[in-house]
Amino acid sequence: QVQLVESGGGVVQPGRSLRLSCAASRFTFSSYAMDWVRQAPGKGLEWVALISYDGSNKYYADSVKGRFTISRDNSKNTLYLQMNSLRDEDTAVYYCAKPGSSGRYDAFDIWGQGTMVTVSS
Amino acid sequence: DIQMTQSPSSLSASVGDRVTITCRASQGINNYLVWYQQKPGKVPKLLIYAASTLQSGVPSRFSGSGSGTDFTLTISSLQPEDVATYYCQKYNSAPLTFGGGTKVEI
């Protein structure tokens, strides 16, 4: 069964950094673009970032542009999100998500269980 | 950037009712529109993609329609297990913006 497992969440002070990981299994990870989506407590879903299958193209939400970096290691079937200069408003559950097809853009058919990031002093 | 606006933000209906949720894009997105269901405390689940294609395993009481800027999710006969928040999302290009969500209650 296709699976995504996030890790790396925790409590961090404002201005500090954190790196999230998403381990993929049971599908050809290197053939798919991948995304990060977040959800603040009690709020809706917010798309965060997308990386193409080979890492050559990256796209970000305006709210994280210049602070967050999406990357991947296809040899390890792992997606990353480096989060710098964290703010209170970055507090959220962070999900990695897989598009349904190997094109750049598609609906997310598989989601991880999420990892909680809390930014607080 | 294209904005996605859902309405209503919440609704309450009875079991067996027909429920309709709308999603409007600020610019045309053809049919690159997906609907997700998120039950309390759970991960979002893909219901309908390409505006009207039912994901495998999703009950047939769910349907989607629309193209361009106006889209609709319909639950033909609301069931207790349909209590959830429903989100639309565009996926024609980045940013892959979500609508604000519609909370459905019984």
Q: Which two tokens stand for residue B82?
A: 């349909």
Pairs across A and B, CB distance < 8 A: 60
- Give the residue from A2, A22, A37, A47 with the most B CB atoms within 10 Å of its CB, the best one to mutate: A47
Strand partners, A47: A37
**Per-residue pLDDT tens for B70-86?**
999 999 999 999 999 99
- B43, B49, B54, B89: best mutation site toward chain A, by most A Cβ within 10 Å? B43
Q: How confident is the model at residue B18 (pLDDT cuts 50, 70, 90)?
A: very high
Cβ of B89 and A109 within 8 Å? no
Q: Quick count: other Cβ atoms within 10 Å of Cβ B79?
A: 12
pLDDT in tens, A60-114: 999 999 999 999 999 999 999 999 999 999 999 999 999 999 877 899 999 999 9
Look over chain A and give the mean of its residue pLDDT values, rounded to a whole number. Answer: 97
Mapping DSSP onto H, E and C, the string for chain A reads CCEEEEECCEEECCCCCEEEEEEEECCCHHHCCEEEEEECCCCCEEEEEEECCCCCCEEECCCCCCCEEEEEECCCCEEEEEECCCCHHHCEEEEEEEECCCCCCCCEEEECCCEEEEECC
| Integer angstrom CA distances of residue A110 from A5, A70, A116 | 11, 18, 18
- Cα B68 to chain centroid distance, Å, stands at 15
Residue A22 has pLDDT above 80, yes or no: yes
* pLDDT of B4 over the 90 cut: yes
CB B22 within 8 A of CB B101: no
Q: What is the rounded average pLDDT of the residues B6-21? A: 98
Distance between the two ends of chain B, CA-based, in angstroms? 35
pLDDT at A38 > cutoff 90: yes
Q: How far is B15 from chain A (nearest CA, A)?
A: 25
SS3 state at B80: helix
Cβ within 8 Å of residue B26, ≥6 positions away? B2, B3, B4, B5, B69
Residue B87 touches chain A, beta carbons under 8 Å: yes
Bridge partners, B11 (sequence order): B104
For the beta sheet containing B45-49, the strands, ordered from the edge strand earlier in sequence to the opposite edge, are: B10-12, B102-105, B84-90, B33-38, B45-49, B53-54
